[in-house]
Amino acid sequence: MPATTSPKNLDVVDAITAAAFPVPALAQRTNDPAVLARIAQFADHQAAVAQDLAATIAHRLHTVPGDAERMVVLTLAAAQHWRYRLAVDTSEVRRGAGIPLNHARYRTPITDSTTNYDRIGYVGRVRDGAHWDPAFRIYRGGAATPAFHTLMEAGRRALARYDAEAPHGAVLQNFVELPDGTLVLGNRLLRGYAADDAAKELTARIAARGDTGRIDTGRIETGGTPIYTATATAADRARLYQAAITAFAAALITTDAAAALRSWVHGAYCLYQAPQTKKGSDAVARVALIAFGTLALGHVPQLPHDIDLRGYVDGQTAFTRDLQALQRGSR
């Protein structure tokens, strides 16, 4: 099948701007306008690298039309390297009461013994000016931030899925259906005893790796009624990562617009179900999605500001429906 990318695609590549990267509310853990303005500038970095990646893909596929899958692999690797170097070069810091950033974690792989757990629902540490409540082991007070509202909404959607799919369960397993009908185990949602176990594991890990010099492990927010997302096993993430690569390659070479959209959206979901490193996977996914999508769809795609949380929480059917509808509505 012939590649659709050619030098003329550089016209649409030039349309990639910071507007393609809505500021994730999850990154907005303060209400200080000056700090929020600085956070918004991250979109400029993303747009620049997405443009470069898309231009490289377009030139390569025009020269070697059958090289789509290799170009997807190289693009994802380049995006991962960019994210790590940016973290190091800009000396990023974490806002709020979270664990201070360790730049090495932007290239530290997730393993079966270091599952990524992310708390959703009530997360008091992302409130502006919150104070620690040792009796309940949560942060209280302060002012709600965009991050707080977004995590609360993600928690609401997670509980709605529990009500519909696992009303009495502590673990809600996501399944990913591949185009051939194969089912792969994706990430999980945890509540109740499973969430409590995750919180204990996280606290023990932080203490074991020596972060106690930078954060008081006695103030890790484990109280309340936590809900966590948990990454899939290494083997399943490897299958899903390959599925994402295959889907993006298919999107780049098809001449069918509807098929390109389906493949691009499927690749997006698989990519979010298969994070590779302890930190930075969301930014890597966003720049890759814009680079691949711009070429495959013929226009700069739109991303929800919380696409990462949607990928972790909503399930394949809802994620696919909503991301496809967003693209159709933008045309």
- Contact (CB, 8 A) for 328 and 310: no
| pLDDT of residue 124 exceeding 50 | yes
Mean pLDDT value of segment 68-86 = 95
From the list 302, 300, 265, 307, the residue with the least C-alpha distance to 283 is 307
pLDDT band at 313 (very low <50, low <70, confident <90, very high): very high
Q: What are the residue boundaries of the structural domains of the chain, listed by start?
A: 7-94+234-330, 109-230
| pLDDT of residue 31 exceeding 80 | yes
pLDDT band at 100 (very low <50, low <70, confident <90, very high): low
| pLDDT of residue 11 exceeding 90 | no
| pLDDT of residue 5 exceeding 50 | no
Which amino acid, residue 230?
Answer: A
- 7-94+234-330: which CATH architecture? Orthogonal Bundle (1.10)
Express each pLDDT in 167-198 by its tens digit.
Answer: 999 999 999 999 999 999 999 999 999 999 99
| pLDDT of residue 207 exceeding 90 | no
pLDDT band at 103 (very low <50, low <70, confident <90, very high): confident
pLDDT higher at 165 or 63? 165
pLDDT higher at 102 or 108? 108
> Residue 237 has what pLDDT?
98
Q: Is 142 left (phi over 0), alpha (psi -120 to 50) or beta?
A: left
Mean pLDDT for all residues in the chain: 91
